[in-house]
Amino acid sequence: MLDNPLGQFFGMLSFIIGVSAFYQRDDRKLKILMFVLQINHTIHFILMGATTAALSSVLSAIRTGLSLKTSSKIVAWLFIAFTLALGNYIASDWRDYLPIIGTCIGTYSLFCLEGIRMRLAFLLGACFWLSNNIVIGSVGGTLLEITLILVNLRTIFSLYRRGLV
């Protein structure tokens, strides 16, 4: 599992960026940090030899960047269709669909939801990414998703308490 120190380094860097992203209560700041996270994650997955996860991270970075400019549901559905088509083309195993599904859920979340609902959908997507990271042996990625689930739950509770439903 630790036979790829450079790949694991980028995974740990993703862990740090991701935790800081999901502590954000402001949706725009969350999306900006998620963009940075996905760029770093792409490097991590390339180094880990996880092609489908790397592609999903590239698509996630593009999608997150677009979500800063628009909240169009048409763009979301087009992006989801593109992700599914490209993912299906390159997937060679059922495990390859884990990041694809996680990316589709994240896309819907970023374009179609906000506040607590967006973060709840992120929780579901995180479960698919967590499964992917466990399968490929990503220490930082696994820690990231476990922590994001916990931090996201904390932020959701905080938003709920403040009445920001």
Instruction: Tally helices (H) and strands (E) across the chain.
Output: 7, 0
- Taking alpha carbons only, the member of 68, 95, 97, 71 closest to residue 83 is 97
d(CA 56, CA 88): 12
Neighbours of 144 (CB within 10 A): 29
- Give the CA radius of gyration of the chain: 15
The H or E element spanning position 108 is helix 97-112
Q: What's the pLDDT tens digit per position in 28-62?
A: 898 899 899 999 999 999 999 999 999 999 988 99
Tens digits of per-residue pLDDT, 72-119?
899 999 999 999 999 999 999 999 999 999 999 999 988 898 889 988
Average pLDDT along the chain: 90
Q: Is the pTM of this model over 0.75?
A: yes
Asked whether the beta carbons of 86 and 117 are under 8 A apart, the reply is no
